[in-house]
């Protein structure tokens, strides 16, 4: 396991190698991304304090390098929260650097419906989100039994909000299912699948996700589908900026094919359910349907 020297120094100073520093009076939950941190906060606060390491939409979770401040946070955490699925493995490394009892980590990929190699963008996977919240409630109750009933009550409220998103998805699905769409990488794909949309350009998406240039045949097919209006819209990761993607977005604009910006990290000061409702409203708008 390798860390930058600055992070190793911080781990030593923070007491990570000899147990975490004196715990704060209020237990601390550290989340890798604010998408999961927000859901955790809705369940845990005010009985626990939740901090998200990645909370700016411009950051790429796949490429993030942890800082000494991140190491200090993990050293003092009562619970850790992550997407998993190889998406934020840097948090695993920080957690493993702790000496003493391991800190419980609740990962979205702990959902029974996820299998190795499946789409890692689980914040757009509604069953995975609901399962995460249920498991996080139980983890809070185990870590802080004194407030078990409060975690249960707040958790039920969050699960009801997720149910509202599921209901809106079902409403919109009845209007749009079967329509062909495209994306530059598979961030939005789990939600598109829930809506019954037919996702095209799979080879292009996989290449971009793996940080390699898409094959010429995939680029040509994407070009043709835009020119021929064979897709109703093009979703793109607004956090990723590579020339091949920007060219396709420009081409879609020029051809009059709607584009849908999506993000891996939520905008600050947003709840997950509001983020999803906003995304569904945008999908409905570009497909000429009323908001669900």
pLDDT digits (tens, 9 = 90+) for 86-115: 999 999 999 999 877 899 999 999 999 989
Given pLDDT bands bounded at 50, 70 and 90, which one contains residue 6? very low
The per-residue b/e assignment along 70-83, b for 16 or more CB within 10 angstroms, e otherwise, is bbbbbbbbbbbbbb
* pLDDT average, residue stretch 3-30: 53
Categorise residue 100: left if φ over 0, alpha if ψ from -120 to 50, beta otherwise: left
Q: Which of the residue ranges 164-173, 214-223, 246-255 has the most confident prediction, judged by mean pLDDT?
A: 164-173
3-class SS at 285?
helix
Say yes or no: do domains 5-166 and 177-286 share a fold.
yes
* Sheet with 105-107, edge to edge strand ranges: 49-54, 28-33, 79-82, 105-107
- Where do the domains of the chain lie? 5-166, 177-286
217, pLDDT greater than 60: yes
pLDDT of the residue at 145? 97
pLDDT of the residue at 92? 95
Determine contact, residues 165/126, Cβ cutoff 8 Å: yes
Tokens 């401040």 belong to 69
Given pLDDT bands bounded at 50, 70 and 90, which one contains residue 58? confident
225, pLDDT greater than 60: yes
* pLDDT average, residue stretch 160-169: 98
In angstroms, the CA 208 to CA 212 distance is 6
For residue 51, report the phi and psi dihedrals to the nearest 5 degrees: -125, 130
* pLDDT average, residue stretch 245-250: 90
286, pLDDT greater than 90: yes
In angstroms, the CA 153 to CA 280 distance is 27
Given pLDDT bands bounded at 50, 70 and 90, which one contains residue 11? very low
pLDDT of the residue at 25? 81
Class of domain 5-166: alpha beta
pLDDT of the residue at 17? 36
Given pLDDT bands bounded at 50, 70 and 90, which one contains residue 24? very low
- 104 to 3, 48, 143, 199, 248: CA distances (angstroms): 21, 14, 9, 36, 43
pLDDT of the residue at 5? 46
CATH T-level fold of 177-286: Rossmann fold (3.40.50)
* pLDDT average, residue stretch 215-241: 91
Mean pLDDT of the chain, nearest integer: 89
Structure token digits, residue 214: 């898409």
Q: Where is 183: in which H helix or E strand?
A: strand 180-183
Given pLDDT bands bounded at 50, 70 and 90, which one contains residue 3? very low
pLDDT of the residue at 68? 93
For residue 143, report the phi and psi dihedrals to the nearest 5 degrees: -75, -30
pLDDT of the residue at 214? 87
In angstroms, the CA 94 to CA 90 distance is 6
pLDDT of the residue at 22? 38
């Amino acid at each position: 396991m390798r860390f930058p020297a600055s992070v190793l120094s911080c781990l030593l100073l923070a007491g990570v190698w000899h147990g975490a520093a004196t715990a704060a009076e209020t237990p601390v939950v550290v989340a890798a991304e604010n998408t999961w941190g927000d859901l955790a906060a809705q369940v845990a606060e005010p009985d626990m304090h939740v901090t998200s390491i990645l909370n700016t939409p411009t950051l790429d979770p796949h490429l993030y390098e942890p800082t000494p401040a991140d190491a200090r946070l993990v050293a003092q955490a009562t619970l850790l929260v992550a997407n998993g699925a190889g998406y934020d493995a840097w948090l695993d490394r920080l957690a493993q650097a702790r000496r003493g009892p391991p800190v419980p980590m609740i990962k979205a990929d702990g959902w029974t419906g996820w299998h190795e190699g499946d789409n890692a963008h689980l914040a757009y996977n509604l069953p995975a989100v609901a399962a995460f919240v249920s498991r996080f409630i139980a983890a809070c109750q185990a870590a802080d039994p004194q407030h078990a009933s409060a975690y249960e009550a707040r958790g039920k409220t969050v699960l009801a909000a997720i149910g509202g998103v599921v209901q809106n998805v079902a409403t919109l699905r009845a209007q749009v299912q079967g329509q062909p769409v495209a994306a530059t990488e598979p961030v939005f794909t789990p939600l598109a699948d829930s809506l019954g949309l037919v996702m095209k350009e799979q080879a292009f998406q996989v290449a971009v996700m793996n940080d390699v240039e898409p094959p010429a045949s995939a680029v040509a097919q994407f070009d043709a589908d835009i020119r021929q209006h064979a897709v109703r819209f093009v979703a793109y990761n607004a956090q990723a900026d590579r020339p091949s993607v920007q060219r396709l977005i420009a081409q879609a604009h020029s051809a009059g094919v709607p584009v849908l910006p999506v993000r891996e990290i939520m905008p600050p000061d947003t709840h997950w359910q509001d983020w999803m409702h906003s995304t569904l409203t945008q999908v409905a708008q570009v497909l000429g349907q009323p908001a669900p």
